[in-house]
Amino acid sequence: MAKMRQRGVSAIAWDDWVMRPVLIVANWKMNTTPADAGRLAAAMAAATDEPLVDRVICPPFVSLTAVGEALRGTGISVGAQNVHAEAFGAYTGEISAPMLAGLATWCIVGHSERRRDDGETDALIGRKLGRCREFGLRAILCVGESLEEREAGQAESTVRNQLAAALAAAASFDGGLDPGLVVAYEPVWAIGTGRTARGSDAAAMADAIRAACAESGVADPAALAVLYGGSVTSASIGEFLAEPSIDGALVGGASLKVDEMAGIVARAALTARARHAAADLAPAGHA
């Protein structure tokens, strides 16, 4: 995709320019109880009232109802952190897509911690994507390379292979690939390690992600939203959102802090406003 190298604004070549939304997703991981989750969600909503930024909060399963009630009417969506690959069955302790329908509208799939701690394979993750599509959950597919893979020069090939395998499995479900799919790039080597990725690293990988998705049959890869998910904070988010190919962030630890999320969303709003301003300049049919 051609790019306009003005900070925070996507491509200016009107023949292939697409204005993608700006999306901030809060992943609370295994934190909060239902009682404090509702209070935290309400505080987040009050502190991040930016209508041009799409916002999603993903609490633990047990807090989905409390968070949904707290966010009603705020414009913030609710997401789940995981889903089982089967719709029903003898899977003790698991949560399926039809169980989530009505409690959440989004779902994180293939998070690096699920891959690392639960041995999730790309094929399994692809089946989860298909199940999300089947039951109306919009999926956020996580991909990313380890430090060893990056140092071996295999970062891009690792991510491309993850996408190819997952999307192939998802495409076998009725309805095929979800046109609303979002991909989150998680450089595993930059999560909780003290190492930091650069905006240019994430931008290069975002371009590779869209190219890989095009090869896997995604209908409109230029419109595919790509998030950055490597230990994002209010201090670091600006470098990533300055890249035209990055459309937001999947936020971990910082998403439990109201002030941090307020700063992240405020910076995302600058990018969103810049994109809307660019869209206003686009010739008819290209915004």
Q: Please identify every residue annotated as catalytic.
A: 111, 186
d(CA 18, CA 282): 10
Strands 22-27, 138-143: parallel, antiparallel or unpaired by DSSP? unpaired
133: nearest Cα among 163, 172, 184: 172
For residue 182, give both structure tokens: 């979002």
The residues facing 277 across adjacent strands are none
First to last CA, the chain: 15
Residues 6+ apart with CB under 8 A from 157: none
- 228, 202 contact by CB (below 8 A): yes
Q: What are phi and psi of 57, to 5 degrees?
A: -115, 130
User: Is the Cα dihedral 116, 120, 126, 128 positive or negative?
Assistant: negative
Give the number of other Cβ atoms within 10 Å of residue 234's Cβ. 18
